[in-house]
Structure 1
Amino acid sequence: MSRENFKYWICQIVGWGAYAGISIFFYLTLSTRKIDNFFLLVAIDILIGLGVSHLMRMVIKEYKFLQNYIQKQIVLFGITIIVFSVVYACADVGIEKLLGVKDTMGENISVWNEIARNSINNFFILFIWNLIYYTYHYIEFNRLQELNTLKLKASVKELELKTIKSHINPHFIFNALNSIRALVDENPVRARTAITELSNILRSSMQTEKLETVPLERELNIVKDYLALEQMRFEERLKVELKIDEDTLEQPVPPMMLQTLVENAIKHGISKKMNGGVIRIISSFKNDHHELIVQNTGQLSGHFNEDGFGIRSTQDRLNLLYHGNAVFSLTNLNDEMVQTKIVIPV
C-alpha cells in the first residue's frame, strides 16, 4: 500500500469512526426514545458510507475532476454529492429493509419517501466529506506546485552559475596563454616560470569549479599567481599593492570573481598605458559588510562599462548568490584611477 493510500484509509477510518461516535453519543445522552437495533443501524450506515465515499473517490480520480478549472470543479462537486447521496440512501434503505431492521419511528411511509429523506441527510454528510477531500488536495496541489517552482528556480540558478563559470574560465585561460606566448621567444626561462604559475592557477580554478563561494584567502592566492605571471610580461610597468585586512581572509567570495576583476583592470587599464600603472586590491569590513575593492590606473569608457563580459558576469553572479543584497559599482575614482567596488553582506 502506498503512503498516499495509507493516509487516505486512516482518514476514512478516523472520519467515519468519529461520525459513528457522535451518533452514539447523541443517542445515549439526548435521545428521548429507545431505537431497536440502534447500534446495528449505525454499523450498517457507517459501512455503506465508507463504501460509497470510496466509490465516489474512485470516480473523482478516474475522471480527473481535480484537474479541471475551478468553475467546472464546483459544478462537478455538486453533481457528485447529489448522485452519491441518492446511491447512499438507496443502499442504506435497501439493506435495512432486507434485514428487517429499519427504524421508521412508527411512521408508515413509502420506500421512495425514505430514500428522499435519507438522501437529504446523506447530502450534508457527503458535502462535508467532499469539502475535506477537495480542500486537502487543493492545499497539497499548491504545496507541490510551490515546491516544484522552488526546485525549478534552484535548477535555473545552478545552470546560470555554471554557464557564467564556463565563460569565465576559458576567458581567463586564453588571456593567460597569450601572455605566455609573448614570453616564449623573448625569455624562455620566464616562459617556463609562467607555465608553472599558470598550472597553479588552473589547478586552483578547477578545484573551485564545484563551489559557489571560497575563502578570500584562497581567491587571493589565485590572484597573486596571476599577477606574478602578468608582471613577467609588463615587468616594471605593473605595480601591485595589497591592502588586506587579515580578518577578511576567511570571508566567502565567489570563486574566480576577484581574478576576473583584476584581469579586466589589466586588460582595459594597465595594458593601454605606455607607462603601465598600479593595481591595488583592498579588502576590509565596513558597517557589517565586506568591501572588496580593485583600483587600477586608467579611465572608464562607455564601451567597457556596457559590454565587458567580466563585469556582466560578476554582476550576474552577485545577484544570483546574494539575491540582490550585494552591491557592485564601477566608477572613475579620479582623473587617473578606476575603482571597482563590491559590497557583500556579512
Structure 2
Amino acid sequence: MKRKGFIILLWVSLGTALFFFLFFTKEKSFHNFLITLLISSMYSFVLGLGNALINEFLNRKFPWSETTGIRAVLSVISIIIGNFILVYFCNYMNYVVIQKTATTEAFFSKEYGTTNWFMINIALLISAFLHAKSFMEELKKTSRKEVVEQKLIAKSANAQFESLKNQLDPHFLFNSLNVLSSLIDENPNQAQKFTASMSKIYRYVLEQKDKELVTVEDEIEFAKTYCDLLKTRFEDSVDFVFDVKKEDYKRYVVPLSLQLLLENCIKHNFATSARPLVIKIFSDNDTLCIENNLQAREQMKESAGIGLANIVQRYALLTKKNVFIEKSEDYFKVKVPILSDKPSNISAKIDTEDGSYEKAKKRVKELKGFYGNLISYCTVIPFLIIVNLLTSPHNLWFYFPMLGWGVGVASHAFQVFGVGESWKERKIREIMEKQKNRR
C-alpha cells in the first residue's frame, strides 16, 4: 500500500475512535480513548491492509483489462472469504483479548453471531466499494491507453500511406521520361504527341495523388488515356480490351492502380506485331481485373518492386479485402478489390463491422450493473439488520431479505461472469474453431 493509503487509514482510525468515544463510551477518560483508538486502528488497518493486499495481488495476477471475467469472480470470492476471516480475527481480538467481555466459547456461540455478521456486512460494503473503485480506475487507465495506441496506429498508418503515395510521382515520371527519350530518336512526331498525352496523364496524377480512393470511372478514363500513350509507342504490338460493368463505375479503387499494373504488363512481357501483348481490363465479382497473355521477357531489367507491392500495401491500409494474383503458363492476372464505400467512410465501416467498441461498451455496462447491485446489497442489508435489532431483537426477520437478495446477487454474478451471453458467445466460438481445425 502506498503512503497515501496509510495516511487515509490513520485518519479513518482517528475519526472512528472519536465517534465511538464521544457517543458510545460512558466514562470519558484518556485511558478509554486510547483503548478506543487502539481498537479502531486495529479494525481500520487489519481490514484496510488485508483488502489492499488482496486487491494488489489480484491486480498483478489477474488484471482487469486482460481477464475481466475471472478477475470479477475472484474478487467476489476473495472479498467474502477474506473479510469473513479478517472480521472474525478483529472481533476476537476486541471482545476476547482486549476488552475481555467474552470467552472463546461465548465468542463462537450464537450470542455473538449477529454482531459478527453485522461487522462482516460493513466490511463487505467497504471492500466492494474499493474493488469497484479499482475496476473503474483500471478501466479509465485502459481506455486512455487504448486511445493513445489507436492515435499512434492512425498516425503511423497515415505516414505509411503518404510515403507509399509519394513513391508514385518520381516513379511514373522516371518511366515516362525513359519512353519519351527513346521516342525522340525513333519518331519525333510521335514524341510530340507522347509529350501532350504525358502532360494530360501527369495532371491526373497530381490531382489524384492526395486521395485515398477514386471512382472506377475516373480510373478507367485515365487508364484509356494512358493506353493511348502506350499505343503511340508500341502501335500494333499492344492491344487493350476494356470490359468494365457500368454499375461498377460509381464504386472506388486505389488511385493510379491501373497505371501501375499496365506498366508492369509492359515491363515484364515482350510485345511484337507478330505476337501482340493483349491486356484486358474487366470487372468480376467486386474486383477489377487486369489480365495479359504471358510473354515473359528472357532478360528483364532489375525491378524496384514498387508497382504491385505498392498497390497491395495501400489496399491493406484501407480495407481487409485482399489483392489477388493469378499466374499460369498462358496468362497473368491481378484482381484488385472494388470498394462500395466513400473514402471518408472506410475506417468507420471497419470499426462497425468489427463491433469491438459496442461489445466493450455492453460489457462495461454489465459489470457496472453487477457492482452497483453488490454495493447496494452490502449497504441496505446492514441497515436492515440494525433496524431489526433495535425494533424487534427477538424476531430476526432480516434473514429473509438478506438470503433472498443474496440469491439474486449470486444469480447476477453467474449471469455476468459465468452463464450469460458472453459465455454462450465463447462456447459458440470454441465450437466453430474446433470444426474449422477439423477441416
For the superposition of Structure 1 and Structure 2, which TM-score range results when normalised by the shorter chain? 0.5 to 0.7
Instruction: Quote the residue 2:296 is aligned against.
Output: 299
Contact 1:326 1:342 in 2 (8 A): yes
Take 2:128 and 2:7, find their aligned partners in 1: how far apart are those partners? 15
**Match for residue 112 of structure 1 among 34, 37, 43:** 34
Q: Deviations over 1:174-224 (max 9, x none)?
A: 111111222224433332222221122111111112211111111112211
Instruction: Quote the residue 1:248 is aligned against.
Output: 248
Residue 310 of structure 1 and its aligned partner are, at CA, apart by: 1.3
Instruction: Quote the residue 2:233 is aligned against.
Output: 233
Residue 91 of structure 1 and its aligned partner are, at CA, apart by: 4.7
Structure 1 gap segments, 5+ residues each: 1-74
Take 2:233 and 2:200, find their aligned partners in 1: how far apart are those partners? 18
In the superposition, relative to structure 1, how do residues 304 and 115 fare at CA in structure 2: closer, same or farther (>3 Å)?
A: farther
Instruction: Quote the residue 2:280 is aligned against.
Output: 281
Contact 1:297 1:338 in 2 (8 A): yes
Residue 343 of structure 1 and its aligned partner are, at CA, apart by: 4.4
Q: Trace 1:211-230 onto structure 2 (pairs within 5 A).
A: 211-230=211-230
Letter in 2 for 1:165: K
Residue 173 of structure 1 and its aligned partner are, at CA, apart by: 1.4
Take 1:212 and 1:202, find their aligned partners in 2: how far apart are those partners? 18
In the superposition, relative to structure 1, how do residues 318 and 260 fare at CA in structure 2: closer, same or farther (>3 Å)?
A: same
Residue 279 of structure 1 and its aligned partner are, at CA, apart by: 3.6
Instruction: Quote the residue 1:187 is aligned against.
Output: 187
In the superposition, relative to structure 1, how do residues 282 and 226 fare at CA in structure 2: closer, same or farther (>3 Å)?
A: closer
Residue 243 of structure 1 and its aligned partner are, at CA, apart by: 1.4
Is 1:342 aligned with 2:336? Answer: yes
Is 1:321 aligned with 2:318? Answer: yes
For CA contacts below 8 A with separation 6 or more, give which structure has more relative contact order: 2
Letter in 2 for 1:316: Q
Partner SS state of residue 340, structure 1: strand
Instruction: Quote the residue 1:103 is aligned against.
Output: 23
TM-score scaled by structure 2? 0.52
| Aligned CA-pair RMSD | 3.3
Q: Would you say how many aligned residue pairs link Structure 1 and Structure 2?
A: 260
Higher percent of residues as strand: 1
In the superposition, relative to structure 1, how do residues 198 and 238 fare at CA in structure 2: closer, same or farther (>3 Å)?
A: same
Structure 2 gap segments, 5+ residues each: 49-122, 341-439
Residue 130 of structure 1 and its aligned partner are, at CA, apart by: 4.7
Q: Trace 1:115-134 onto structure 2 (pairs within 5 A).
A: 115-119=37-41, 120=43, 123=48, 130-134=130-134
Letter in 2 for 1:206: L
Q: Trace 1:128-143 onto structure 2 (pairs within 5 A).
A: 130-143=130-143
Letter in 2 for 1:340: V
Partner SS state of residue 211, structure 1: coil
Partner SS state of residue 339, structure 1: strand
TM-score scaled by structure 1? 0.64
Take 2:332 and 2:264, find their aligned partners in 1: how far apart are those partners? 11
Aligned-residue identity in percent:
22
Partner SS state of residue 179, structure 1: helix
Residue 93 of structure 1 and its aligned partner are, at CA, apart by: 4.6
Take 2:215 and 2:5, find their aligned partners in 1: how far apart are those partners? 63
Contact 1:265 1:296 in 2 (8 A): no
In the superposition, relative to structure 1, how do residues 236 and 306 fare at CA in structure 2: closer, same or farther (>3 Å)?
A: closer
Contact 2:270 2:297 in 1 (8 A): no
In the superposition, relative to structure 1, how do residues 296 and 170 fare at CA in structure 2: closer, same or farther (>3 Å)?
A: farther
Instruction: Quote the residue 1:7 is aligned against.
Output: none
In the superposition, relative to structure 1, how do residues 153 and 172 fare at CA in structure 2: closer, same or farther (>3 Å)?
A: same
Contact 2:204 2:222 in 1 (8 A): yes
In the superposition, relative to structure 1, how do residues 310 and 181 fare at CA in structure 2: closer, same or farther (>3 Å)?
A: same
Take 1:160 and 1:304, find their aligned partners in 2: how far apart are those partners? 27
Take 1:115 and 1:308, find their aligned partners in 2: how far apart are those partners? 78
Instruction: Quote the residue 1:161 is aligned against.
Output: 161
Q: Deviations over 1:37-56 (max 9, x none)?
A: xxxxxxxxxxxxxxxxxxxx
Q: Trace 1:199-218 onto structure 2 (pairs within 5 A).
A: 199-218=199-218
Take 1:330 and 1:166, find their aligned partners in 2: how far apart are those partners? 28
Take 1:183 and 1:112, find their aligned partners in 2: how far apart are those partners? 104
Partner SS state of residue 167, structure 2: helix
Instruction: Quote the residue 1:86 is aligned against.
Output: 10
Take 1:199 and 1:310, find their aligned partners in 2: how far apart are those partners? 21
Q: Deviations over 1:75-132 (max 9, x none)?
A: 43xx6544422223325655x69xxx92015366711222234342584587566544
